[in-house]
């Protein structure tokens, strides 16, 4: 079975950064990628993520995971927008009844880049940060145990479902359910187990929460991590700077958006 989180251990300065610092920059990338008005901004963000990934020695994992999670949706964006972008005028090619529109493609590449930048930043964050460390740090900075618990559990939902699905699939393959082969075959194999998978994951998530509780996670004492998580003055300042930059960026975007409405 695969580990429950995509975290990959490496000896790198990025891994050693405080989880909150990484979290802050991750949020920056998401906000900017989401709202940036120019394609080049989004592309340079994507470039920055790749450079940081290289510094963290996880480029290959990043690319593999991003491709795996974004491939299908990116293809869909191109197909849907390329063919059906509303109000398109400039046809690029026409093959029989199908016309590919220039505006559609431009819009598709912009949307896809935003999406890729956000997914890449998310994956990079998860590749270099242990969920446990992040939650510990958030709790050390005043997050309540209850919320910390919710964050920890929700960070586990997807990987949990995956692990559970892998186990169930193995067991059902052993009982003659064909899960290897063409797309259609795989699809048909998954249908009967989706319901049980969801129920099963909820049950196993409940069991996990019991396991965590039984180790006193919600007891009232202050948690002491066995491995100290480093934090420095510099990192703290960088986080404040990032927050300030984001605040001004958001204000700027809001103002220009409202003024475009007024005009």
Residues in contact with another protein by CB under 8 A are: 1-5, 7, 9, 130-132, 136, 152, 156, 160, 163, 167-168, 170-181, 193, 196-197, 199-200, 203-204, 206-208, 210-226, 228
C-beta closer to another protein: residue 114 or 133: 133
In the bound complex, what is the minimum distance in angstroms from residue 12's beta carbon to another protein?
16
**207 vs 219: CA distance, rounded Å:** 18
Residue by residue, what is the 3-state secondary structure of 185-224?
HHHHHHHHHHHHHHHHHHHHHHHHHHHHHHCCCCCCCCCC
Instruction: List the Cα angle 152/157/162 in 5-degree steps.
Output: 135
Distance (Å, rounded) from C-alpha 223 to C-alpha 142?
Answer: 12
Q: Which is nearer to another protein, 89 or 222 (CB)?
A: 222
Q: Name the residue nearer to another protein (CB basis): 178 or 250.
A: 178
Quote the least distance from Cβ 13 to another protein, whole Å. Answer: 20
Nearest distance, CB of residue 111 and another protein, angstroms: 35
* H or E element, residue 111: helix 102-128
Taking a C-beta distance cutoff of 8 angstroms, is the pair 204, 112 a contact?
Answer: no
37 vs 216 by CB, closer to another protein: 216
Contact present, 50 and 120 (Cβ < 8 Å): yes
**Considering the complex, what minimum distance in angstroms separates the CB of residue 36 from another protein?**
34
Helical (H) or strand (E) element with 71: helix 59-84
- Is the CB of 144 or the CB of 256 nearer to another protein? 144
Q: Which two tokens stand for residue 42?
A: 């989004």
Q: Which is nearer to another protein, 76 or 173 (CB)?
A: 173
Q: Supply the minimum distance, in Å, between the C-beta of residue 54 and another protein.
A: 23
Least Cβ distance, residue 165 to another protein (angstroms)? 11
Question: Could you give the dihedral angle defined by the CA atoms of residues 210, 215, 218 and 220, in that order, rounded to the nearest 10 degrees?
Answer: 160
Tokens of 33: 């990628």
């Amino acid at each position: 079975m695969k580990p429950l989180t995509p975290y990959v251990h490496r000896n790198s300065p990025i891994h050693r950064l405080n989880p909150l610092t990484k979290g802050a920059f991750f949020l920056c990338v998401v906000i900017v990628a989401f709202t940036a008005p120019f394609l080049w901004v989004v592309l340079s963000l994507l470039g920055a993520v790749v450079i940081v990934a290289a510094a963290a020695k996880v480029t290959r994992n990043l690319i593999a995971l991003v491709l795996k999670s974004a491939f299908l949706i990116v293809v869909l964006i191109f197909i849907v927008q390329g063919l059906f972008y509303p109000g398109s005028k400039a046809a690029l090619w026409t093959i029989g009844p199908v016309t590919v529109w220039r505006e559609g493609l431009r819009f598709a590449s912009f949307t896809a880049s935003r999406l890729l930048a956000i997914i890449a930043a998310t994956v990079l964050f998860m590749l270099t940060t242990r969920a446990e460390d992040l939650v510990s740090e958030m709790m050390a900075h005043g997050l309540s145990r209850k919320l910390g618990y919710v964050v920890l559990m929700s960070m586990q939902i997807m990987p949990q479902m995956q692990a559970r699905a892998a186990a169930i699939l193995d067991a059902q393959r052993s009982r003659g359910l064909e899960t290897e082969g063409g797309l259609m075959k795989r699809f048909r194999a998954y249908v009967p187990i989706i319901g049980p998978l969801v129920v099963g994951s909820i049950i196993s998530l409940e069991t996990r929460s019991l396991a965590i509780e039984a180790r006193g996670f919600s007891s009232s004492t202050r948690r002491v991590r066995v491995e100290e998580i480093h934090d420095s003055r510099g990192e703290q300042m960088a986080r404040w700077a990032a927050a300030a930059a984001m605040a001004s960026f958001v204000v700027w975007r809001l103002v220009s958006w409202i003024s475009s409405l007024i005009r």
